[in-house]
Chains A and B, each alone.
Chain A
């Protein structure tokens, strides 16, 4: 099983899901299985408002379908096209507030104290899991806080996860 030897997503295939959390879970399972995949917005006709798909190499469709079923990851269908799909924002910015650092990924921001690595705030976004993640993450150390991609369900959570990962990288690099 897997995709040993291949290191890029040639694309051509797109797995679509009923909700974002399933797509995030699928990405994790497929990467662990050795597949190169990428999260992306489905084409407009498959969007309901807060959607995420996984781009795959279409030639690997059979193995991917089997792995997702084995791991009990539910998906709606696998399309043989990525036409109309859109890329997620990958821009990450950092703002230095002296004792604190704020990392911004897409529309989501995470601030932590430099000396302790404690998350002091999260902001941005408009989906219901963002206030929930705020409550679960704030006042915890970066190394001990829950990962937004594991606790959240939406695209906002995914962007917050990117800010969190960047903050963790900065924190680990400085200690």
Chain B
């Protein structure tokens, strides 16, 4: 099971848990529809596009409405902490949520009790909390953007809004130094997929790959184009791809999707997600050897 947990920007939306499917312009789980636009919805949509293409089990989602007050975040963590042992997921990806360090700590403690702990992936608020709570090394993959890798590199910062100015001003050429600092400070997951003008994939302090083509600069302005990389990485890891290779495939797919969508800064991320099946069809076999699409339900 690929379990994706995060909040949805919808007031009064209850906790929803179950396998997800797409229905028109919405996502549906446990009979309830929610937006696939932005944030966790965009991340789930990207993961779903990849699992559908590969013919594997769709993501199981745990989502709750939260517009910034933290109520949905609390529901999400409570459900995860109480049910993770029985759900027995292979991969868990945590995404948009209030960075509550105490709730993440309780969840990670439950994960550590499991006989076969899942691969742990974090982005967004969950990654902020993991770093701030000193839990980064418990995670297998983080997917930071350039300002977030500066945050991971700054030992004093508990949120990207508080990064030291000399680190925040860093250019893309400085990312390798920030990656080194993040590992030195024990603020990095085993694998980092750093999303930016040039994507860096690192493992245990060493840069394993960089991806910079095709170069589509306007992607930086489009909200959700980092979330899609996290979703794709999660799906590829769930398919059995090594996390470094999964990060590379996700970065390449995202860039190619961006190119094929021919975006402007006004493009919505859903338009890019919609071209992923075509990207996979044209390139995934060449890039990864994932060529034959297995029958539904196989893994």
List residues of A whose CB falls within 8 A of some B CB: 19, 21, 41, 44, 47-51, 86-91, 95, 97, 99-100, 102, 106-107, 109, 111, 113, 120-132, 134-135, 138, 152-159
Contacts and interface: CB of A to CB of B under 8 A. Distances in A.
B168 A157 contact: no
Contacts of B158: 41, 44, 47, 49, 51
B224 A123 contact: yes
B96 A155 contact: no
A102 B100 CA distance: 30
B96 to A, nearest CB: 5
B40 A131 contact: yes
A128 B97 contact: yes
| In the complex, the 3 A-B pairs of residues with the closest C-beta atoms, listed nearest first | A129-B68, A126-B124, A153-B68
B57 interface: no
A111 B155 CA distance: 31
A48 B37 CA distance: 29
B265 A102 contact: yes
A144 to B, nearest CB: 17
A50 B265 contact: no
Q: Choose among B10, B159, B169 the residue with the greatest number of A CB atoms under 10 Å from its CB.
A: B159
Contact of A120 (B67, B125, B217, B266): B266
B159 A41 contact: yes
B221 A102 contact: yes
Contacts of A134: 9, 37-39, 223
Interface string B43-72: 000000000000000000000001111101
Interface centre among B162, B221, B264, by most chain A C-beta atoms within 10 angstroms, is B221
Given A126-B96, A132-B68, A100 B147 contact: no
A132 B125 contact: no
A89 B168 contact: yes
Contacts of A21: 68
Contacts of B267: 121
Contacts of A138: 223
A1 to B, nearest CB: 31
B221 A157 contact: no
Interface stretch (B14-22, B126-134, B185-193, B286-294): B126-134
A123 B220 contact: yes
A123 B225 contact: yes
Interface in B93-110: 95-102
A19 B99 CA distance: 12
Given A89-B162, A107-B161, A95 B266 contact: no
Contacts of B127: 126
Contacts of B123: 126
A106 B157 contact: no
B258 interface: no
Given A125-B124, A135-B38, 8 more contacts: A91-B169, A100-B221, A107-B145, A109-B220, A123-B222, A126-B124, A126-B126, A127-B99
A100 B96 contact: no
A97 B160 CA distance: 25
B101 to A, nearest CB: 5
B113 interface: no
A86 B156 contact: yes
Contact of A123 (B217, B223, B266): B223
A111 B266 CA distance: 8
A134 B157 CA distance: 25
B230 to A, nearest CB: 10
B72 A89 contact: no
A128 B7 contact: yes
A127 B68 contact: yes
A126 B38 CA distance: 11
Contacts of B156: 86
A154 B98 contact: yes
A153 B128 CA distance: 16
B265 A157 contact: no
Contacts of A88: 161-162
A100 B125 contact: no
Contacts of B101: 48-49
B68 A154 contact: yes
Contact of A157 (B66, B68, B132): B68
A98 B127 CA distance: 34
B162 A41 contact: yes
Contacts of B98: 49-50, 127-128, 154
